[in-house]
Every structure is written in structure tokens, then in C-alpha cells.
């Protein structure tokens, strides 16, 4: 019974978004992504690290339920002079999922997103001037997020987003966070 009530509530709340989706079957939206992600590190000791990310996100479909794809890349380097140690990591993230958007007039849009996330990493560890490179296997995990779009003109908008990636790695923490700020162009 709870599921039926939640489903009906979702349909009721989303009716304005359905009505604003328009008669066209869909549209394409391309957004550059620039932001920061907070990740968990385990070397040399468990700690948190923030790194700069950049990439591109594409959406296609009506606002109530559209497909989205995103590719980002980040790189960070840490030095530990007391141990004569330097750690460098390059990460490529790919996300594929769905997005549901809710319009508040023509000026603002709030969205929810969820889907699957894949990560490919390369680690370079330099200790006492000896470098070793390690490339772990690609791993997959789910993600969920929310964001806000503010329309500046008919075809441009400012975007802010917050996404949680449920990685399950390393032990003791299973989430990484991405905060992004960007703009989009509607085609």
C-alpha cells in the first residue's frame, strides 16, 4: 500500500513537468562539467582528498525522464616529504543513467539523477626516486544526485549539482561526493 501511495504521489507531483515537456519527442542538452570531488584514499594512511574534475554531460529526452551520459577526468598529486613519497592518481569516470526534472516556471529547474558509474584509475607511486605504476581493474557502482538549473536565456542555463557515488571502497567508507558548477546550451 505504501508503494502505491508513493507512486501516486510521484505522478501527482510530476504532472506539471509532464505538461511542460512539450509536443516534441525529446531534445538534446550538452553541458561542460567543472567541479570538485571528494574521494577516500588509503595510502599511505586512510584519509580524504579533494580533486579538480572536468568533462562533459549530455541529456536526451523529455524533462520528466531523460537519458544522461557523463564523462569526467580528474588528477591529483600528494607529496609526503617525511617519507620521501609522492602519490599521483589519474581517474576517468563514466556515468550512464536517467534524470527527472521538475520545472518552476521558465526560470528554474530542479532535477534528480541516478544510474551506473564506472571508474578507470592509474596510480603512480614514487618512493625514494623509484616509480611504480598500477592500473586497477575498471569497477562499477551506482550513483544518485540532485541539482539546480537556472535559465539565463532561452538556450543557456547555469547548473549546480551534487552527486554521491556509492563505491564500497575503501573499507570504512562507501561514498564519494562530486560538486559541480557549469553551464549548458540547449540544441
pLDDT digits (tens, 9 = 90+) for 58-75: 999 988 899 999 999 998
CATH number at residue 154: 2.40.160.20
Nearest to 89 by CA among 135, 122, 125: 122
| Pairwise CA distance, residues 130 & 14, whole Å | 58
Nearest to 162 by CA among 177, 175, 183: 177
pTM of the predicted structure, to 2 decimals: 0.72
- The percent of residues in the chain predicted with pLDDT above 90, rounded, is 29
| Pairwise CA distance, residues 53 & 187, whole Å | 25
CA atoms within 13 A on the CB side of 174: 6
| Pairwise CA distance, residues 91 & 117, whole Å | 13
The three-point CA angle 98-101-103 to 5° equals 170
- Stated as kind and residue range, the H or E segment containing 160 is strand 156-165
Q: 50: domain range? A: 2-186
Asked whether 93 and 73 are in contact (CB, 8 A), the reply is yes
pLDDT number for residue 73: 93
At residue 166, φ and ψ (nearest 5 deg) are -90, 85
| Pairwise CA distance, residues 111 & 116, whole Å | 17
**How far is the CA of 119 from the CAs of 137, 142, 143, 176, in angstroms?**
9, 11, 12, 12
174: three-class secondary structure by DSSP: coil
pLDDT number for residue 44: 72
Take residue 14 and report the three cell numbers written for it: 510530476
**pLDDT higher at 15 or 58:** 58
Number of domains in the chain: 1
Residue with C-alpha cell 599511505? 44
| For residues 157-184, average pLDDT | 79
Amino acid at each position: 500500500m505504501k508503494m502505491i501511495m508513493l507512486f501516486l504521489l510521484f505522478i501527482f507531483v510530476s504532472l506539471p513537468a509532464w505538461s511542460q515537456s512539450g509536443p516534441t519527442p525529446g531534445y538534446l542538452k550538452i553541458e561542460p562539467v567543472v567541479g570538485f570531488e571528494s574521494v577516500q584514499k588509503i595510502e599511505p594512511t586512510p584519509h580524504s582528498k579533494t580533486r579538480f574534475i572536468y568533462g562533459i554531460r549530455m541529456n536526451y529526452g523529455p524533462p520528466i525522464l531523460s537519458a544522461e551520459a557523463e564523462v569526467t577526468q580528474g588528477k591529483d598529486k600528494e607529496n609526503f616529504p617525511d617519507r620521501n613519497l609522492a602519490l599521483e592518481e589519474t581517474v576517468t569516470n563514466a556515468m550512464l543513467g536517467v534524470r527527472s526534472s521538475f520545472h518552476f516556471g521558465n526560470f528554474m529547474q530542479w532535477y534528480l539523477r541516478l544510474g551506473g558509474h564506472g571508474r578507470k584509475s592509474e596510480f603512480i607511486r614514487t618512493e625514494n626516486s623509484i616509480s611504480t605504476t598500477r592500473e586497477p581493474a575498471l569497477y562499477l557502482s551506482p550513483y544518485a544526485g540532485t541539482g539546480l538549473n537556472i535559465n539565463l536565456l532561452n538556450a543557456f542555463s547555469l547548473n549546480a549539482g551534487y552527486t554521491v557515488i556509492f563505491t564500497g571502497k575503501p573499507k570504512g567508507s562507501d561514498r564519494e561526493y562530486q560538486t559541480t558548477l557549469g553551464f549548458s546550451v540547449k540544441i
